[in-house]
Structure 1
Amino acid sequence: MGGLPAGRVLVVGGGIGGLAAAIALHRTGWDVTVHERAAVHEDAVAAISLAANGLRALDALGVGEAVRGAARPQYTGGTRTPDGRWLSRMDGAALERALGDPVTGIHRSALHRLLRAALPADRLVHGKEVTFEELHARDRTGGLDADLVVAADGLHSRIRTALFPGHPGTAYSGSTALRAVTAEPVDPGTDFALTWGPGSEFGHIRLADGRAEWHAVLNAPAGLRHADPLAVLRRRFASWHRPVPQLLAATRPEDVLHHDVHELAVPLPSFVAGRTALLGDAAHAMTPHLGQGACQALEDAVVLAAELAAGPDLPAALARYDSARRPRAQAVSRAARQAGRMGQQLTHPLALAARNTALRLAPSKATVRAVLRHADWTPPRLPG
């Protein structure tokens, strides 16, 4: 089968997924332009964990080693109760033996910087919002200078809304998330950890510069905000085990980000419409309970470029992209929702006791298998 002649592609959205798609398409010969409406990504001050599938996708993009050099592998940790008792432990070395990489933590700003560096500087345009109405008008008049549009415009994608007007869009998950990176180096004792209380979760990851990123996910009404969210968290978690209060004490109030957690209300019927491919949160926004959102976006980017390179024409390539990515990404999304319901969102004392007992009795290999279920993914090979 002959390859599809590379043309011009407009990527709408310059987050992790959009940049990854641009790199993959640029490497395979496409003339790429990325339009990002924000001057600076707000969440770039936070951090992210990448499982092996995300790192393998970055390897396919040619930036995997650079990312590993700026990141910190997570070998020690697990899941605990608020009084500090361990429910399960994660063996990062076992994951590394099975997958080649443990879970890895990195500043989002460092990841963004490395992705941007893999593109020619003039390919990324900040402060430029592109709407579907503009794309449609330019297409109708012959002014759309692109053979392909990649919609990577995030959770509240306007392009998705326009392409699928009957889709209900996003829905509030019932959880709200607060997070920050400590202002100074700290020693949390483990590389990463999750602690589950009734309707609440607190987690951390150690970063390469000695600081730590923490997150708190809470059951809460949508839109609830506090004048001083850090003070609220310090009171709420004051009695939790070390290092939870210590991580909050090492944080500046102005560094705390607060976002309600939304996901797609129902799965999309397709990740493709015409010559537009949806990618990342625009295609499959999911809850963060498996830490797979960015990894799935990276997978999308590599598969899209590989299918386009395989040809023979744009409709066939996009149909294969949809066939390859939609079942997997939507399955991971369902699993993330279920993980939240059985983890952070549980509140009933009997349900909490049953879950905790099951986790304590489960063999350590079961925890590794749970990670392998989503992280053991092999990327297609990109030409060029």
Structure 2
Amino acid sequence: MTRSAAILGAGIGGLAIAGLLSRAGWHVEVFERAPNLPTSGTALGMWPHALTALDAVGVGDRVREAGSPPHRGSFLRPDGSVIGTIDNTSRTTYMLSRPALLAALHEALPTGAVAFDTPAPPLDALTSHDVTIGADGLRSATRRQLFGDGYEPLYTGVTAWRGWVPGHRDEASETWDKSALFGITPRDGDLVNWYACVRADEGFDGGIDYLRSRFGTWHTEVGAVLEAVTPDAMLHHDLYESRALPSYVSGRTALLGDAAHAMAPNLGRGASEALVDAATLGRLLTHSNDIRDALLRYDRARRRPTHRLVRGSRIMSAVAMTRHLRPTRDLAVKLAARLA
């Protein structure tokens, strides 16, 4: 008898788990309230464990071919002087835009598996499925139905801009100052990816003029990016992180990705961890006759590691934008880079 899964959300984690289950012979229905996949977005880091997950979905080679591997990463001061450098030549990490990754995952699914422009039904309307998977992001309605309103995400105190400009780049850099940072990385499509963060009140409003004023005196690479930025190639979001959930599962329903563990982007692990969630959950579901047991094993495998990453991302944000002890921070980064 064919098993079935209702997947709520066609983001990275939702499409990945749909692909894994459908490859194992499951019938999958993906509900997505947006009318289509996004056509614009910034670069995501695909770490080795995420590439392994993508291999299981059948799109790993496509991601490697399309993605851009940063050969070196540098931490800089606003004047361009180097805090520390990490050689990435031995690491298989790729930068790939969100639209390209989503397109690859979607094309690996059976035709019609995703119902676009279709809000997810409430959980009690999905009982005919063997399992329901909440992959509905930061403001997850599935999480709210399972655990109530007490686990809404927390504002991190940081707002962020992300975007892309024409060009090519083989190296990544992140420039740190008190209460602010600016990152520049490779990405696919003959473009350069960039991001900027500042400490600010929730709902802070600032556009290109603000960015040029705030970062315009930094080193020349930052200035060149800001000079090329256009409003239609820039996104602005406040940053949030999840409260620690008591479980990622309830009955025959599981949460994955940002619905379970949204984190600040400072470790660059959010998208990769959604893929690892999907790979772990897919493997356990397809190798067990007991759905509830598989979900409990998924929770044991993923909840504590991702809780640690949420905390680690918060700590990394504090370190990068520290208002105090910058000489101590710089020395610690130099030592860590030598050991990397």
TM-score range normalised by the length of the shorter chain: over 0.9
Question: Identity rate of aligned residues, in percent?
Answer: 36
User: Counterpart in 2 of 1:353?
Assistant: 327
User: Counterpart in 2 of 1:9?
Assistant: 5
Task: Tell me the amino acid that sits aligned with residue 333 of structure 1.
Answer: V
State the shift of 1:7 in Å.
0.9
User: Counterpart in 2 of 1:377?
Assistant: none
* Stretch moving more, 151-160 or 252-261: 252-261
User: Counterpart in 1 of 2:337?
Assistant: 364
User: Counterpart in 2 of 1:260?
Assistant: 238
Deviations 1:287-344 (A, max 9, x none): 1110000111000001101111221311111111111111111111111111111113
Q: How does 1:143-154 map to 2 (within 5 A)?
A: 144-154=127-137
Q: Does 1:93 align with 2:89?
A: yes
Question: What SS is found at the alignment partner of 1:82?
Answer: coil
User: Counterpart in 2 of 1:335?
Assistant: 312
Q: How does 1:132-147 map to 2 (within 5 A)?
A: 134-136=122-124, 138-139=125-126, 144-147=127-130
| Alignment partner of 2:160 out of 177, 181, 184 | 177
Instruction: Decide whether the 8 Å contact of 1:72 with 1:105 is kept in 2.
Output: yes
Instruction: Using structure 2 for the length normalisation, give the TM-score.
Output: 0.95
CA distance in 1, matches of 2:338, 2:309: 20
Question: What SS is found at the alignment partner of 1:79?
Answer: strand
**Cα gap change, 1:200 to 1:43, in 2 (>3 Å):** farther
Instruction: Decide whether the 8 Å contact of 1:21 with 1:301 is kept in 2.
Output: yes
User: Counterpart in 1 of 2:292?
Assistant: 315
Q: Does 1:104 align with 2:83?
A: no
Instruction: Decide whether the 8 Å contact of 1:44 with 1:112 is kept in 2.
Output: no
User: Counterpart in 2 of 1:197?
Assistant: 177
RMSD (Å), alpha carbons:
1.6
User: Counterpart in 2 of 1:241?
Assistant: 219
Instruction: Decide whether the 8 Å contact of 1:57 with 1:298 is kept in 2.
Output: yes
State the shift of 1:107 in Å.
1.6
CA distance in 1, matches of 2:99, 2:273: 19
**Cα gap change, 1:242 to 1:77, in 2 (>3 Å):** farther
Task: Tell me the amino acid that sits aligned with residue 232 of structure 1.
Answer: Y
CA distance in 2, matches of 1:222, 1:236: 18
| Alignment partner of 1:231 out of 195, 205, 209 | 209
CA distance in 1, matches of 2:279, 2:3: 17
**Cα gap change, 1:347 to 1:364, in 2 (>3 Å):** closer
Instruction: Decide whether the 8 Å contact of 2:123 with 2:142 is kept in 1.
Output: no
Task: Tell me the amino acid that sits aligned with residue 60 of structure 1.
Answer: A
Instruction: Decide whether the 8 Å contact of 1:72 with 1:208 is kept in 2.
Output: yes
CA distance in 1, matches of 2:36, 2:228: 25
CA distance in 1, matches of 2:257, 2:298: 13
CA distance in 2, matches of 1:269, 1:90: 36
Task: Tell me the amino acid that sits aligned with residue 162 of structure 1.
Answer: Q
Q: Does 1:324 align with 2:297?
A: no
Count of matched residue positions in the alignment of Structure 1 and Structure 2? 340
Q: How does 1:51-70 map to 2 (within 5 A)?
A: 51-70=47-66
CA distance in 1, matches of 2:338, 2:118: 48
Instruction: Decide whether the 8 Å contact of 1:80 with 1:194 is kept in 2.
Output: yes
Q: Does 1:30 align with 2:26?
A: yes
State the shift of 1:358 in Å.
2.4
Task: Tell me the amino acid that sits aligned with residue 85 of structure 1.
Answer: S
Instruction: Identify which of structures 1 and 2 has the higher relative contact order when contacts are C-alpha pairs closer than 8 Å and 6+ apart.
Output: 1
State the shift of 1:254 in Å.
2.2
**Cα gap change, 1:291 to 1:19, in 2 (>3 Å):** same
State the shift of 1:365 in Å.
4.1
State the shift of 1:41 in Å.
5.0
**Cα gap change, 1:24 to 1:200, in 2 (>3 Å):** same
* Stretch moving more, 202-211 or 253-262: 202-211
User: Counterpart in 1 of 2:103?
Assistant: 113
Instruction: Decide whether the 8 Å contact of 2:75 with 2:175 is kept in 1.
Output: yes
Instruction: Decide whether the 8 Å contact of 2:4 with 2:130 is kept in 1.
Output: yes
User: Counterpart in 1 of 2:279?
Assistant: 302
Gaps of at least 5 residues in structure 1 are 369-384
Question: What SS is found at the alignment partner of 1:45?
Answer: coil
